[in-house]
Amino acid sequence: MSLVATEQRRTVRKAGYSVISLVAGIALWQLAAWYFGPGLVSSPGTTLQAAIDLTKDGTLIESCLVSLRRILIGWASGIVVGVPLGILMGRVQAIRVLLDPYIEFFRFIPPIAFVTVAIAWFGIGETSKVVLIFYTSVFIITINTIAGVLAINESKLRAAESLGAGKRQTLVSVVLPATIPHVVTGARLALGNSFLTIVSAEIVAAQTGLGSLIWTSRNYGRIDWIFVGIIALGILGYLCDRAIRLIARASLRHYNVKV
Amino acid sequence: MAETVHPPISPPATAALSLRGVRVVFGDFVAVDDVDLEVRPREFLCLLGPSGCGKSTLLALMAGFAAPSGGSIEMGGEPITGPGPELGVVFQSSDALFDWLTVADNIAFGPRMRGMSKAERAPIVDEHLRLVGLAGAAGKRPPQLSGGMRQRVQIARVLANSPDIVLMDEPFGALDAQTRTVMQRELDRIWRERQSTVVFVTHDIDEALILSDRIAVMTAGPEAGIKSVYDVTLPRPRDEDTKSYVDLRHRIREDIAVEVVKSLGDRS
């Protein structure tokens, strides 16, 4: 009884701290709004009103859904390409040597540098945005997958060979499952990158999305709308990460995934 | 006499595994030099020696994980070209288990890789779960098991794949003393049930005496080799309190002590 009670008290206390932290944060924000004035900082009240207005006319929800859709498609493609690529690069020396220079070159170039060429190459439609999200995801997933492959205990691979597993069987039945914790880490980092990139991807030639909302608001001088867009990005990112962690915990718990 | 000492070369008519003039060189360092050894069908052979003498290196060669720098290793007259299901390996570390699979699925791994259907695998898995006393843990995963239980899974996983030769690399080396003793007795029982050909690496004289038909004592490295081979004809299960057991242990200990002193002398 006492153990359960202690556990419950701890949960209540943790929730209490979160509330205190949130209230303190909003208070600081309010102070900053008073100090700097509405031209620089939109106050919590104004921002909330703006959020209500943008929700009522449908802009906010639509922006969130459009951005989320681009992020999920680009990020998922990054996983679909990055994981097999990382496994092959981790296991096959020749492939690693061939592709490593490109990975090490492109992963240092931020997606914003490619915004213009992406639009030129893929048009002003959805493709250019999704490609940029894919670009920002794929290297980080590949590199984490390679790290996971290289971290596999040698005796597991030897055991598989000695039990009669061929090369492909070893890849599918041992290397892939043993690499899953690193893949999940890579996917979470890549999702963070995708949120960083979506604003750049939606700067030019986008009529919809949170990035577009932020950039359009700038043209109208609506700092309160910018604040709404920024906060929506943060909340959306947080929710997505929570979703990944929940899904990973529920479906991958046998693969030593700690999230 | 319970044992006889004879020169390392004692080729019987058909050897399960034969090593001739095997040499292992790492750069300038000669780890193993000129090893001749015959593993007889259905015998339990221990490689016994001080740590760092190259016994695990020799075992890795027999498993096909590496090729010797010189000499030859043949199984049934054919050179070993790489690892495969005919050469089962039990590793010292239970890291070799597949943590994401249940105990039953770990044991089924070899038969599954070789294309057996689920229905064909089921009786094999059941038989081997029982053989190592893990019938109650079939659905558990390795991280939930004790060190001793994990090594039982490794043994069952290898035996379920019916290898021609079982190679064991200090499988009980990481276990506590009590578990170790229990596992030695268990393995002795399993071996008597199965009569597989086993090569077992250890630095523990009692472990070798409890399990072996023959004990090959290795010289200290570098340039390690086989010093002498003891036939152990004591009845199984071995009784550690009999005079012949104690005498044999004494002789082997002296034999190894010389090598340990030599290896310490080399370092100073």
Average pLDDT over residues B14-26: 91
Record: contact B63-A256, CB cut-off 8 A: no
Long-range contacts made by residues B145-148, C-beta under 8 angstroms, separation at least 24?
Answer: B145/B103, B146/B179, B147/B94, B147/B174, B147/B175, B147/B176, B147/B179, B148/B175, B148/B179, B148/B182, B148/B183
Going from N- to C-terminal start, the domains of chain A cover 1-41, 42-255
B interface mutation test: which of A163, A253, A254 has the most B CBs within 10 A? A163
Q: Which residue of B has its CA nearest to A179?
A: B100
- A107 pLDDT higher than 70: yes
Which of B82, B84, B91 is facing A159, going by the closest CB pair? B91
**Interface subset of A 157-186, CB within 8 angstroms of B:** 158-166, 169, 173-174, 177-178, 180
pLDDT tens profile B80-134: 999 999 999 999 999 999 999 999 999 999 999 999 999 999 999 999 999 999 9
Record: contact A162-B82, CB cut-off 8 A: no
* Topology at the third CATH level for domain A42-255: MetI-like fold (1.10.3720)
> For residue B221, what pLDDT band results from cuts at 50, 70 and 90?
confident
Record: contact A256-B161, CB cut-off 8 A: no
Interatomic CA distance for residues B193 and B265, integer angstroms: 44
Alpha helices, H only, chain A: 2-36, 44-56, 59-91, 93-106, 115-122, 126-150, 154-162, 167-170, 176-201, 210-220, 223-251
- B5 pLDDT higher than 60: no
What region does B213 belong to: left with phi over 0, alpha with psi -120 to 50, or beta? alpha
Q: Is A254 at the interface with chain B, CB within 8 A?
A: yes
A186 min Cα distance to partner chain B (Å): 20
- A184 pLDDT higher than 50: yes
Record: contact B113-A169, CB cut-off 8 A: yes
Average pLDDT over residues B66-76: 93
Angle between helices A59-91 and A44-56 (to 10 degrees): 90
Tokens of A58: 């449908």
Average pLDDT, chain B: 90
> For residue A5, what pLDDT band results from cuts at 50, 70 and 90?
confident
What are the structural domains of chain B? 23-86+164-236 (3.40.50.300), 97-162 (no CATH)
- B268 pLDDT higher than 70: no
pLDDT tens profile B148-163: 999 999 999 999 999 9
> For residue B53, what pLDDT band results from cuts at 50, 70 and 90?
confident
Q: Which residues in chain A are contacts of B142 at CB distance < 8 A? A: none
- B2 pLDDT higher than 50: no
- A210 pLDDT higher than 90: yes
- What percentage of residues in chain A have a pLDDT greater than 70? 99
Which range among A61-75, B23-37, B176-190 shows the weakest confidence by mean pLDDT?
A: B23-37
What region does B252 belong to: left with phi over 0, alpha with psi -120 to 50, or beta? alpha
Q: Which residue of A has its CA nearest to B107?
A: A163
pLDDT value at residue A143: 95
Interatomic CA distance for residues B208 and B47, integer angstroms: 8
A168 min Cα distance to partner chain B (Å): 11
pTM: 0.86
pLDDT tens profile B164-205: 999 999 999 989 999 999 999 999 999 999 889 999 999 999
Q: Which residues in chain A are contacts of B161 at CB distance < 8 A? A: 163-164
Tokens of A246: 């929940």
